[in-house]
Structure 1
Amino acid sequence: MFSIYILTYNEEVEIAGCIESVSSLSDDIIVVDSYSSDRTVEIAQQYDVRVVQHVFESHGRQRTWMLQEVPTQHEWVYLLEADERMTPELFAECLQAQESSEYIGYYVAERVMFMGRWIRHCTQYPRYQMRLFRKDKVWFTDYGHTEREVFDGATEFLKETYPHYTSGKGFSRWLEKHNRYSTDEAKETLAQLEKGDVNWQKLFFGKSEVERRRALKDLSLRLPFRPLTRFFYMYFLLGGFLDGRAGLTWCILQLFYEYFITLKVWELRHGQTRPI
């Protein structure tokens, strides 16, 4: 068996569904809340879970604090976001995978659920995240608006996937959230541009999809007309047009997100302190 962490902040719409996807599977579920101002904690406490709260500083620091300070019943843990779900098939594969002494962690691919459907093509599927791992062998650092894992040992990839519901709280929430994300991404983008060149070896000959995808992102930061380039890449090259209206909407939103980032990079470079 393994313990499950669920990270939350103002997730009253999603938290019940997330907990219910694991409540009949795991005997140790911990909700780690960043002092939500809505009913997230109240709803979570209606279930047989532990709820702890910690002031949010960043994604990487929140996860590292959680792993170091919040005890679990099991050596292995699984990370869930409130807008993600565990499936019985994935849970069964996780149980089997943790029995291996060869690996200390496993990546799991997400299925982005948007506008009522899985948009497979324009979301770079399979897009892997570190989800199942030994608690004493993995920690996290900050990268842009999100985090990157650091680990001590060999890792592998699971076959089963998890659904990620990205717009359950509406488009207004998506836009508000990604406006905040773009500020962190702009800082990271500027740092990457000043740091060095693209790792071409990892881009073409990376050992895993994770290495190749991260090298591709470093390349994308340096491309001209980056927002339009990303739209063309996602909609035409990745086949977003095959994902119907949801795919088109997703690609347009990503175009605007990239444009937010480029505007904020310009602000940072020119010392602007107010929005353009």
Structure 2
Amino acid sequence: MTRLPIVVAIPTKNEAANIASTVRSAIGHFAAVVVVDSDSTDDTRALAEAEGAEVVPYAWDGAYPKKKQWCLDHIRTDIPWLLFLDGDETPSGQLLLELRRIFLDGRPIRPAAFDIPLRYWFAGQRLRHGHTIVKRALLDRTRARFPEPDDLAAPGMGEQEGHYQPLADPVHRLRGPIEHLDLDPVRTWFERHNRYSDWEAWLEAHPEVREEIRTAKTRQGQLFHRAPFKPLLSFGYAYVYRLGFLDGRAGWDYALAMSFYRWQIGVKAREAGRAAARGGNGG
């Protein structure tokens, strides 16, 4: 089978529960599969190597570029196209067929990047309706780059790029999804989003950085970025408008969790605002 002229980069840190299935899903389909690991303390590296992946260590120096841009700059630069997969993601059969039609028919590839929908699982159940995330995950590294907003002082993200898209033009959306199946306990979802909400709340106090990041989001993300009443809007969008109620209890739990995440951001931003006001009054 002819391999796709794409390198798969899998940024990891303690993904032993998921990494074997992720690497296994990509090996044999792509020109290279590289796990970029940030000092995992579990068996992530050994499991990835056992499945045939190349493992590259990564240590963040506290500055830009962060981890994904570092991958674009350093991982198998002889191959222009790079597909990012999280340690708990796998390309669907539909996506693989779509990529073969695009990359193996001999025609020039006009887009500089491809947006790919996620088929998301939450608390052990696949969401068929309420989740609508699309990732700009497949990039021509010669024509795409992640933004470098002035957010290095913000808590919550560390080595990871924030919730914004890499910059590229033009961009084409694919139909085949990436399967996002997280086998970790659901508490890890809340732990991650607690950190993410720290970053989002910090942005509320730094509107110039917040606006810079808004321009690097999808059209849907830009609209939501400015919307009021985000917790209610988030719940209504996922559970009602996107028919999340058809996913049963999982749809309810997910919509409520995302609403709670938006509520966390607001509470933390207001707390930071009060602390800044007290500091200003005290000065």
Among 101, 111, 116, which residue is 1:103 paired with? 111
Tell whether 2:172 aligns with 1:156.
yes
CA contact (8 A) 1:104 1:155 kept: yes
Amino acid at match of 2:170: A
8 Å Cα contact 1:77-1:135 kept in structure 2: yes
Return the letter of the residue paired with 1:163.
Answer: E
For 2:55 and 2:200, the matched residues in 1 are separated by 30
Q: Deviations over 1:159-180 (max 9, x none)?
A: 21111124x2112211111111
Tell me the residue number matched to 2:196.
Answer: 181
Residues 176/59 of structure 1: CA separation in 2 closer, same or farther (3 Å cut): farther
Quickly say closer, same or farther: Cα 1:54–1:242, change in 2 above 3 A.
same
Query: Of 63, 67, 75, which aligns to 2:80?
Result: 75
Q: Does residue 1:231 correspond to 2:232, yes or no?
A: no
Aligned pairs for 1:59-74 within 5 A: 61-74=66-79
Bigger mean CA deviation after superposition, 127-136 or 104-113: 127-136
Q: Distance in 2 between matches of 1:121 and 1:254?
A: 14
1:24 aligns with one of 22, 25, 28: 28
Contact 1:12 1:38 in 2 (8 A): yes
Answer yes or no: is 1:190 the counterpart of 2:205: yes
Q: Tell me whether 110-119 or 237-246 shows the greater mean CA deviation.
A: 110-119
Residues 79-106 of structure 1: CA distance to partner in whole angstroms, max 9, x if unpaired?
Answer: 1111111123312322332343322221
Report the Cα distance in structure 2 between the residues aligned to 1:63 and 1:194, rounded to whole angstroms: 20
Tell me, which stretches of 5 or more residues in structure 2 are unaligned? 150-156, 277-283
Residue 120 of structure 2: which of 112, 129, 133 is its match?
Answer: 112
How many angstroms does 1:58 deviate by?
A: 8.4
TM-score (norm 1): 0.82
> Kindly tell me: are residues 245 and 88 of structure 1, through their superposed partners in 2, closer, same or farther at Cα, counting changes over 3 Å?
same
Aligned twin of 1:219 = 226
Counterpart in 1 of 2:152? Answer: none
Matched residue count:
254
| Secondary structure in structure 1 of the residue aligned to 2:26 | coil
Q: Is the 8 A contact 2:14 2:42 kept in 1?
A: yes
Contact residue 204 and residue 210 of structure 2 kept, 8 A: no
The question of whether the paired residues in 2 share the 8 Å contact of 1:59 and 1:147 is answered with: no
After superposition, the Cα gap between the structure-2 partners of 1:246 and 1:252, relative to the gap in structure 1 and judged at 3 Å, is same
- Going from structure 1 to structure 2, the CA distance change for 1:195 and 1:139 (only over 3 Å counts) comes to closer
Q: Deviations over 1:134-159 (max 9, x none)?
A: 121111126784342112x3221112
Letter matched to residue 187 of structure 1: W
Give CA-to-partner distance per residue, 1:169-220, whole Å, 9 cap, x none.
1122111111111101112233348967xx9xx9xxxxxxx74312222223
Deviation at 1:35, TM superposition (A): 1.5
SS of 2:191's partner is helix
Secondary structure class of the residue paired with 2:275: coil
Distance 1:159 1:236 in 2: 23
Paired residue type of 2:273: R
Q: Which residue of 32, 35, 44 maps to 2:48?
A: 44
- For 2:63 and 2:209, locate their aligned partners in 1 and report how far apart those are by CA, in whole Å: 22
| SS of alignment partner, residue 217 of structure 1 | helix
* Structure 1 segments unaligned to the other structure (5+ residues): 203-209
180-189 or 138-147, larger mean C-alpha shift = 138-147
Using the TM superposition, give the Cα deviation of residue 246 of structure 1 relative to its aligned residue in structure 2, in angstroms: 0.5
Q: Give the root-mean-square deviation of aligned CA atoms.
A: 2.6
1:60, 1:148 within 8 Å by CA — same for their partners in 2?
no
Q: Spell out, residue by residue over 1:35-77, the C-alpha distance to the aligned partner (whole angstroms, 9 max, x if none).
A: 2122111211212221112124589721111111222442212
Q: Which residue of 2 aligns with 1:146?
A: 163
